[in-house]
Structure 1
Amino acid sequence: MGKPVLIIISGHPATGKTTFGKMISEELKIPLVSPDGIKEILWDNIGWKHDFTEWSNVGKVSFELMYYFIETCLAQGKSLVAEAHFHPEINNARLNALKDKYGCKLLQVHCKADKSVIEERFRQRMASDNFHPGHRHGIVEVYGEEKFYDKLGKGEKLLNIDGEVYEVDTTNAENIDSNKVLEFIKSNL
């Protein structure tokens, strides 16, 4: 790889972002950073039974730490994968500024799926013993489960950044060709 590449995995929750992020990270042997992973480390160390303000602050801090890790890698000329439920209105300008500051290349893999599929996947996730209790607590006790499911999968999450984009519809898992995602990334390195 010449100049560093920031591979951004975007999309709503339960659209396959983490799966693609891990696959790309392993295939290219580059780091993966994710606010959800950071949140889980924080919750494991400070606890996860927070009120709305504390829960929101953990989310904000996890995004700031993600950006810190991104900048640390890019400043050293290292490529990495960043996977998150990015909000375009907050993250577009910030990601484009990283490109300007570090001369890196931005690639976006945008995951999407039908709302009904996203909701079913998330319900399965909520029932799983592998789902961190901090996420469950936030959704059920802090945010409100009904409100969460109502908003889940709504609104546009495709980032408007200065870089190539590959959209992958994960509605039907059997139709996903992971090799095409890897080909897109490798052809743009």
Structure 2
Amino acid sequence: MANSSNPLHQSHHPLIIAMKGHPGTGKSTLARALAATLGIPLLDKDDIRSCTVTLQHLLPQSQSQPLLNDLSYRTLFEIARTQVRLGLSVILDSPLSNKSRLDEVVALGAKRVIVVECRPGDEIEWRRRLEERGREEDGTQGHKPATWEELMRLKEGYKGCDEYDIGDKAERIVIDTTAVGVTTENMLGRVLQFINSLE
């Protein structure tokens, strides 16, 4: 339930919370918890990308993935821009896999951008979660890696561009989503504490 005393809710100084991380790192789980607690819109790139799956057969295979991925980001950012213009804070759930995407987020005009980076320290646990999700979705999401091998190919395709210096473009908190004993509540508490420390 949204907290009516929450300073982010319908603020005239909107904030963007931009999730960052590879598939299966737990960023969507944390993003949903943040949205529910703060009572602000959650915009998920995967929701948009899922709507473009039927377009893949209209394009050459070599072009469909990058073109539809770019379309999904552009749509995500345009929707976010509208919310920010209305004075609403938003949470953006996407891999944010290169610096140019962060630049686009910053250009949306929010008072502040906070990057919540989900970086799992335990690769075995990360792999288990990714492949469990892949089995549950049973290939219905087409564009998401369902196996560890698919994820490794995706990471190789980034060619290191996903590891970039945020600099002074945004505030950043890094969360190890696979730390021993960590729960969604723990992670949520850490992020909220970080946000409050910036006020």
Q: Please give the range of the TM-score, normalised by the shorter of the 2 chains.
A: 0.7 to 0.9
Q: Does residue 149 of structure 1 match 2:157?
A: no
Tell me which moved more, 75-84 or 124-133. Answer: 124-133
Which region of structure 1 is more displaced relative to structure 2, 86-95 or 26-35? 86-95
What secondary structure does 2:106 align onto?
helix
**1:146, distance to aligned residue in structure 2 (A):** 3.8
1:29 and 2:32 aligned: no
CA distance in 1, matches of 2:22, 2:78: 23
Opposite residue 125 of structure 1, the aligned amino acid is: R
Aligned to 2:80: 70
- Counterpart in 2 of 1:134? 142
The one-character-per-residue Cα deviations of 1:153-182 (angstroms, maximum 9, x if unpaired) are 984446615232111101236224131222
Distance 1:132 1:173, change over 3 A: farther
Q: As a proportion of its length, which structure holds more helix?
A: 1
- Structure 1 position 55 matched with structure 2 position 65: yes
Give SS of 2:143's match: helix
Equivalent AA in structure 1 for residue 129 of structure 2? R
State how far apart, in whole Å, the 2-side matches of 1:79 and 1:13 are: 24
Normalising by structure 1, report the TM-score. 0.78
What RMSD in Å do the two structures reach over aligned CA positions? 2.9
Matches within 5 A, 1:162-177: 162-172=169-179, 174-176=181-183, 177=186
Kindly provide the amino acid, as one letter, of the partner of residue 5 in structure 1.
L
Gaps of 5+ in 1: none
Deviation at 1:92, TM superposition (A): 3.1
Q: Distance in 1 between matches of 2:154 and 2:50?
A: 23
Counterparts of residues 54-133 of structure 1 (less than 5 Å): 54-98=64-108, 102-114=109-121, 115-129=123-137, 132-133=140-141
- Is contact 1:48-1:134 (8 Å) kept? no
Kindly tell me: are residues 79 and 116 of structure 1, through their superposed partners in 2, closer, same or farther at Cα, counting changes over 3 Å?
same
Count of matched residue positions in the alignment of Structure 1 and Structure 2: 179
**Structure 1 stretch displaced more, 117-126 or 68-77:** 117-126
Gaps of 5+ in 2: 1-6
**Structure 1 residue matching 2:40: 3-state secondary structure:** coil
> 1:132 deviation in Å?
3.1
Find the residue that maps to 2:82 and give its secondary structure. Answer: helix
Q: What is aligned with 2:50?
A: 40
The answer as to whether partners of 2:21 and 2:94 remain within 8 angstroms in 1 is yes
Give the structure-2-normalised TM-score: 0.75
Amino acid at match of 1:121: R
Hey, what does 1:20 align to over in structure 2? 30
| Larger relative contact order (CA 8 Å, sep ≥ 6) | 1
Aligned residues with identical type, % of pairs: 21
CA apart distance, 1:147? 5.6
